[in-house]
Amino acid sequence: MSEVVASDWETPLKVRLTGYDLVTKPMLNKGLAFSQQERDIFRLNGMLPPHVATIDEQAERRLRVLRSYSTDFERYAFLRDLQDTNETLFYAVLVRHIEELLPLVYTPTVGEGCQHFSEIYRKPRGVFISYPNKDRIREILADPRFDSVRVIVVSDGERILGLGDLGAGGMGIPIGKLSLYTGCAGIHPDLTLPVLLDVGTNNRERLTNPLYIGWRHERVVGSEYDAFVEEFISAVIERWPDVLLQWEDFAGSNAGRLLAKYRDRLCTFNDDIQGTAAIAAGTLLAAVNVTGVKLTEQRIAVLGAGSAGCGISSLLLRAMVDAGLTEEEARRAFYLVDRNGLLVEGMEGITPAQMPFVQKHDAVADWLVDESGHIGLLEVVRNAKPTVLIGVSGQTGAFSEQVVRAMAEGVAHPVIFPLSNPTSRSEAVPQQIMEWTGGRALIGTGSPFPPVQWQGKQIPVDQTNNSYIFPGVGLGVLAANAKRVTDAMFMVAGKVVASMSPTVTDRKARLLPPVDQLRAVSLAVAKAVAIQAQADGVAEACDEATLDRWLKSLVWEPKYRPYELAKA
């Protein structure tokens, strides 16, 4: 095990910076919470107003300002500025009000933040590695500020949520994800590093926008792109041999193959593929408590057969096999629909990830096809009568009234997960799903939605969001000092979330634990992931008491420590 950040709040922190240099360092700045003694020692008198505040008072003041804004984007920009000014206070507000702030620091508002990243950019955070600097990657990463980094989230901005190519604006995603690593799992901010690989953009609006801060060039592709990514990964491994690297929002053509290429060279995973799969599996397992339909009896239709859709299907297939089906039996339960309709043997362009889920011709021979000769989602629902419908297509409204009603005709309690982000890209609106199914649907969405109104009751909508999974996975990897991330670690993460579902004791309850319990969920996921890492042979074995101690030592609480002036 490597040394970790200790949870010792009483021990004074030795600080070399004084005066203006101190208050402009986000991780050290306390604002008005510097004690009078600290103001004397660090030459802050006169620089700060005389009032000495507590972190509770500061949090309340910031929250009042936040709530005074009229739009969520204004609130997002305010929180980003707070994070870049006083990081401890930012996390104190986030942790205490996670349910209110999660939609602001991450989906759906982060999508708008990425779209307008250039306009609101003010202070450096993370690392932009642009293609023209491909020969300076090691020099950039060598900065001593990054010595303690243990977790990296990296994106190339090509497929940001369902919004497409946003170029350098995609940096908002690694920043947002890492905020949740800290807010939900307590991983110290100094251990995290957001990275944007700026290889250009094919978004004409970005290229012609005079405010755009990224490299003004069409996207680098092919062998040049691969060589650039290889140079980055090689530099990362050299700089931080034990780092956890998360791939985020890469295009489907790159996401799966990059994961496959590098997963055995460093500790890495793709949240769009594996994290999405784990939370979908966990939510479905919770739904089984309500429907009574065993996992082995589910029929699953997935709209969107890209990296996320195939990742979800692969993990659910493995769960079905674990539950007793043969692999062939499990494969027959999946109906993946892509832009060219249902995946059927003989179709052109079938990827290796899609191949296990291709339907045989004779199984669908009498299904109607559209004008282009493809089998659409409606025909899949009418004929396959799926018990579960999952959307990761990014197609707004793709779960039409016809589709949802057809599903409700064949299933007592249809499980419907429109998972595409942000909210504007969701395949369906929960209120409509509830109305079209006569109140019988079990719903999980990728972004937050208000409660649905049904027969005089307000029914909360479960946000089937990766934030239930990846923060705990990251904490578990760090606690176990795992050398690799295995698929079994995501399987156990999904099962832990399902085990914490309120439906375990009340079939009428919501599918997922409330968002304000994300810290407890993340800790439970982390412990299970660490144990699984040991079982998989990618981490050293230890007893439970030792593992608990390591986990506890990693969890940082956003509190101010007392400061002492370090000797020169």
CB 34 within 8 A of CB 42: yes
* 338 vs 396: CA distance, rounded Å: 15
- Is 14 a known active-site residue? no
**Judging by DSSP bridges, how do beta strands 13-15 and 452-454 pair with one another?**
unpaired
CB 213 within 8 A of CB 118: yes
Q: What one-letter code names the amino acid at 45?
A: N
Which candidate, 479, 484, 477, places its Cα nearest to that of 4? Answer: 479
* 354 vs 339: CA distance, rounded Å: 13
**Judging by DSSP bridges, how do beta strands 151-155 and 13-15 pair with one another?**
unpaired
* 462 vs 518: CA distance, rounded Å: 13
* Residues whose CB falls within 8 Å of the CB of residue 318, separated by 6 or more in sequence, listed in order: 487, 491
Residue 352 burial (10 A CB sphere; 0-12, 13-18, 19+): exposed
Which ranges of 189-243 would DSSP assign to H, the alpha helix?
204-208, 222-239
Q: Which of 30, 91, 177, 181 is catalytic?
A: 177
Distances from the Cα of 509 to the Cα of 336, 461, 513, angstroms: 30, 11, 10
Helices (H) and strands (E) in the chain, counts: 23, 16
Local structure of 266: helix, strand or coil: coil
* 277 vs 144: CA distance, rounded Å: 36
Longest dimension (CA), the chain: 83
CB 442 within 8 A of CB 287: yes
In the block, residue with structure tokens 């594996």: 274
* 400 vs 377: CA distance, rounded Å: 10
Q: State the DSSP code for 447.
A: S
Q: 3-state DSSP helix/strand/coil percent for the chain, to nearest 5?
A: 50, 10, 40
Which candidate, 147, 109, 143, 202, places its Cα nearest to that of 3? Answer: 147
Q: CB 534: neighbour CB atoms within 10 A?
A: 16
Q: Which of 30, 76, 91, 106 is catalytic?
A: 106
- Is 177 a known active-site residue? yes
* 428 vs 414: CA distance, rounded Å: 14
User: What amino acid positions are annotated as catalytic residues?
Assistant: 106, 177
